[in-house]
């Protein structure tokens, strides 16, 4: 199972709509940082085991810099019109790894749940 939260975000009309608001966009950035996301897997246990043996899993994560780039790319594609953003517009904005209820509900609707890193 090849999972790609970034791709799903870029194709999801509701995520795109939420990212119009800069503060909500920052919340999505924070939720991508220091957090792993696990995709719900409805396949048989046999199929899941086979993918694990191949080294595939249903967990997605990214760096802080990459997270800022995802948000900037989506906003640039739909909203910024001339004032292009970059990863640095979000990078180290504070409260990284915080997942608001809005973001959690949005990702849950898409089949994703937070899967925090182990201490």
Q: Which of 2-11, 44-53, 77-86, 108-117 has the lowest average pLDDT? A: 44-53
Query: What is the average pLDDT value for the chain, to the nearest integer?
Result: 92
Q: CA-CA distances (angstroms) from residue 32 to 50, 60, 79?
A: 28, 9, 20
Show me where the domains of the chain are located: 5-113
CA 74 from centroid of its chain's CA atoms: 12
Q: What is the C-alpha to C-alpha distance for residues 28 and 92, in angstroms, rounded to an integer? A: 13
Residues of the chain above pLDDT 70, percent: 91
**Residue 38, helix vs strand vs coil:** strand
Give pTM, 2 decimals: 0.90
Taking only the tens place, the pLDDT of each residue in 35-67 is 999 999 776 777 766 666 666 678 999 999 999
Does the pLDDT value for residue 2 go beyond 80? no
Would you say 75 and 100 are in contact if contact means Cβ atoms under 8 Å apart? no
């Amino acid at each position: 199972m090849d999972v790609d939260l970034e791709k799903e975000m870029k194709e999801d009309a509701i995520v795109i709509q939420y990212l119009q608001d800069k503060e909500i966009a920052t919340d999505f950035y924070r939720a991508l940082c220091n957090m792993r996301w696990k995709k719900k897997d409805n396949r048989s246990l046999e199929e899941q085991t086979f993918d694990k043996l191949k080294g595939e899993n249903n967990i997605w994560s990214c760096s802080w810099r990459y997270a800022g780039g995802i948000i900037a790319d989506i906003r640039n594609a739909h909203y910024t019109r001339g004032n292009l953003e970059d990863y640095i517009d979000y990078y180290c904005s504070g409260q990284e790894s915080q997942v608001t209820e809005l973001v959690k509900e949005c990702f849950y609707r898409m089949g994703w749940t937070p899967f925090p890193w182990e201490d």
